[in-house]
Homo-oligomer: A and B are copies of this chain.
Amino acid sequence: MTAPAVPDAPGAPGLSGEGPTATSGPVHVIGSGLLGASLGMALTRRGVEVTLEDISPLNVGVAADLGAGRARAQGDPEPALVVVAVPPDMAGGVVVRALRDYPGAVVTDVASVKSAVLQDVHDAGADLTRYVGSHPMAGRERSGPAAALPDLFEGRPWVIVDSGASAETALLRVRDVAVDVGAQVFHMDAASHDKAVALVSHVPQVVSSLMAGVLAEADDRALALAGGGLRDVTRIAASDPALWAVILLGNAGPVAGLLRGVRDGLDQALAALDQAAAGSLGEPMAALHRLIAAGNEGVARIPGKHGGAHVDWDEVTVMVPDEPGALGRLFTLIGDIGLNLEDVNIEHAGGKPVGLTTIYVAKGAGAEAAAALAGAGWRILA
C-alpha cells in the first residue's frame, strides 16, 4: 500500500526533502511509534518500499493506514535496511535480533542514547560492520503512530554513529535515508554523541523538571505573578516521565557528570546567599555577578539565538494591547500589506499574548515595515 501522492497546490510550500531519492528499499521499520511511523511515511512518500513490525498489531495498523508502509509478511524479500525504532532500553536487543534475522541488511536504530545500544550489540558478538547508530533529533509533545508526520525530520539534526567497525556502505545507506527525509546529518562517535545530548537535551530536562518541581507546592497567589521567564524555563518540564526515566538511565554517566557541575555552581550560589543573609556584601555580590555573567557567556554560544541567526534580519517591535482580537488584527494587517516575515516572537503577560510582539523581516525592510504598521495605527517601539 502506497500513500497517495500529495499534489502541491499552486504557490504551496515545497519540502527540501523532495529532491531525488537515494534510498532503494525495501526498508523494514521495527517499532511503529512516532519515529518509526513518521520515517515510514517519509520514505513511502518518496516511493521507497517500507514494511512495518511492532509488538502492537494496532500500531502497525494505524501506521499502515497513515501511509507508513505495510505489515511485513512471510516470503517478503530481505530488507536492504532495517530501522529499529523502539524505546532506548530495548533498542540493543532488537538490533542484535535484526542483524541475525537479516544477514544481508544494514541495521540502524534511532534511540536517543548511543553508547548503551552499541555496548549491547558489541557484547552479543553481532556483526558490527552492518550496524550504524542513528539519532534523528525530532519529536513532538504527542507520541504514537497517530501523531506521526512525514515531515517530522525536515530540517532537524540526525546524528550518525559509527559502530567503530561500520562498513562505509552501511554508513552511506543510513546517511542516504537521513538526507532523503530532509534531515541535517552530523557524524559523531557514540561517546561524543552521548555527552552532546546530555548537554543540550538531558541536563536541560533535569534542570527544567527540578525548577518546575518547586512549583508543585507553591502558593496560587505567587504563581499568578508568573511571567515569561518562568514559563520558558519550565516548558519542557511537561515531558513524559516514563520515556525520560529510560533516557536518563541510559545516559547516566554523562548526565551525572554535567549535573555535578550544576550542583557546584548551585552550592556557590547558596554560600553567597547565606553570607549575604548574614550581612556580608562584597564577596557574595562578586560571586552572584560571576554566576550570572557565566550564564551570559554560555547562552551566547548557542547557535541561532538572537544575535546569531537573527542578526541578518531587521526587527520591528509592536505593542499589542490587552483586548480581544488585537493579535489577529495585527497579523491580518501584516498579510494585507504583504510583509514577508522571517520570524515572530510574541511576549506573553499573565499567559495572554499581550505586550510586545517582535516581527523579523529581511535586512533593510524594517523601516518600511515599521512605517506601514505605524501608519495603520500600531505603536512601534524603539
Contacts and interface: CB of A to CB of B under 8 A. Distances in A.
A377 B12 contact: yes
A273 interface: yes
Interface string A284-295: 111011111111
A175 to B, nearest CB: 17
A311 to B, nearest CB: 11
A152 to B, nearest CB: 9
A378 B187 CA distance: 32
Contact of A13 (B147, B303, B378): B378
A6 B176 CA distance: 59
Given A213-B265, A298-B216, A328-B340, A236 B229 contact: yes
Interface in A310-355: 319-323, 325-329, 331-336, 338-344, 346, 348-355
B304 A351 contact: yes
Nearest to A187: B221
Contact of A382 (B147, B341, B355): B147
A149 interface: yes
Given A154-B321, A256-B277, A302 B222 contact: no
B258 A292 contact: no
A308 interface: yes
Contact of A353 (B239, B298, B343): B343
A367 interface: no
A122 interface: no
Interface in A1-59: 6, 8-16
Contact of A227 (B6, B16, B137): B137
A80 interface: no
Interface stretch (A98-106, A163-171, A197-205): A197-205
B377 A8 contact: yes
Nearest to A10: B377
Given A214-B258, A229-B235, A304-B351, 20 more contacts: A11-B329, A13-B326, A149-B381, A151-B321, A151-B379, A155-B350, A200-B227, A205-B292, A206-B266, A211-B298, A212-B296, A213-B295, A214-B298, A233-B236, A237-B296, A237-B298, A259-B269, A308-B351, A328-B341, A331-B334
Given A221-B188, A232-B233, A292-B245, A262 B356 contact: no
A292 B244 contact: yes
